[in-house]
Amino acid sequence: MLARADLHIHSYVSDGEASPKDIVKYARKLKLNVISITDHNSFLGSVIASRYAEEHDIVVLLGNEVRTVWGDVLIFCEEPITVSENPYLLRDIAKENSCVIIPAHPFDLKRLGVGGKSRIYDLWDGFEVFNARSDPITNLLSYLMLRNKSKTLLSNSDAHTLSEIGCSYNLIYVNDLKKEEVLDALKKGRTLMRPAYKFNALHKMFSWSFKARLYGISEKQLAFKTNLLPVLRGGDSSSGSSSA
Ligand SMILES: [Zn+2]
């Protein structure tokens, strides 16, 4: 089957707006088959989402947007692992744990892409050459620099609000909708990009970024962080502001 996948989404575990559960619900509404919540330096959003998704027909790859010393790198795994900010160590850890590592928006230097380091091809399984939050010239540069390298090329939304999810996505060839199959397809380049900007989400995207910069983390995020312990212990993760 061809699975529709948006593999770069943020929840309020880091700087996104929505809860992991709401992201799963919204992704199902959009008929996405695979998502990854890639909060900054945390697998927690995707752990919570995958717990909820188990009841539904959607796969959540455990993801994390790791801030390495060179810039942001997406890692996708079956289980959460301890990561490293050293890209060479991250590569080794990814290999040991059958994870996939892909530089996020590599030539978007304003947003901490790894830039020219993406051309150390042995390190990476692929590249996110289209990111719906990067400008068209940056995306074109990433594509021109990194195509034809027999690596997976991805187009993702980098959604920080619900309305941005799925505006860019990928088609992934899998026999069964399982995490290991999706990871295998990502390693072997069995993917097709479906890049697009969603202009009617721009207003929401900019107002959220502006609010986040102006006020720091939102009330929902704060409530979530203070209730983190019950959530981690398996309590109600459906609402960031509820305690279990
Ligand atoms: Zn991101």
| Residue environment code for 34-64, b if the CB has 16+ CB neighbours within 10 A, otherwise e | bbbbbbeebbbbbbbbbbbbeeeebbbbbbb
Residue 240 lies in a domain: no
Structure token digits, residue 35: 């998502």
Within-domain flag for 144: yes
Contact 17, 218 (CB under 8 A): yes
Q: Tens digit of pLDDT for each residue in 180-206?
A: 999 999 999 999 999 998 776 666 666
Mean pLDDT of 168-179: 95
Question: Residue 152 falls within a domain, yes or no?
Answer: yes
Q: How far is the CA of 10 from the centre of ligand 1 (A)?
A: 6
Ligand 1 centroid–CA 15 distance in Å is 9
Residue 242 in any domain: the answer is no
Q: In the structure encoding, which two tokens stand for residue 96, read together?
A: 């040991």
For residue 108, the CA-to-ligand 1 centroid distance in Å is 12
- For residue range 19-60, list pLDDT tens digits in order: 999 999 999 999 999 999 999 999 999 999 999 998 888 999
Give me the number of domains the chain comprises: 1
Please check whether residue 238 lies inside any domain of the structure: no
CA of 158 to the centre of ligand 1 (A): 5
**How far does the centroid of ligand 1 lie from the alpha carbon of residue 9, in Å?**
7
Quick one: pLDDT band at residue 236, thresholds 50, 70, 90?
A: very low
Task: Classify residue 44: in a domain, yes or no.
Answer: yes
Determine the Cα–Cα distance for residues 239 and 22; give it in Å rounded to an integer. 9
Q: How many Å apart are CA 68 and CA 81, to the nearest integer?
A: 15
Residue 34: which domain range? 2-232
**pLDDT tens track for 78-98:** 999 999 999 999 999 999 999
Distance 31 CA to ligand 1 centre (A): 22
Cα dihedral 197, 199, 203, 208, rounded to 10, equals -20
Q: Is residue 220 part of a domain?
A: yes
Alpha-carbon distance 87 to 134, whole Å? 23
CATH number at residue 118: 3.20.20.140
The SS3 call for residue 64 is: strand
- Evaluate whether residue 244 is within a structural domain: no
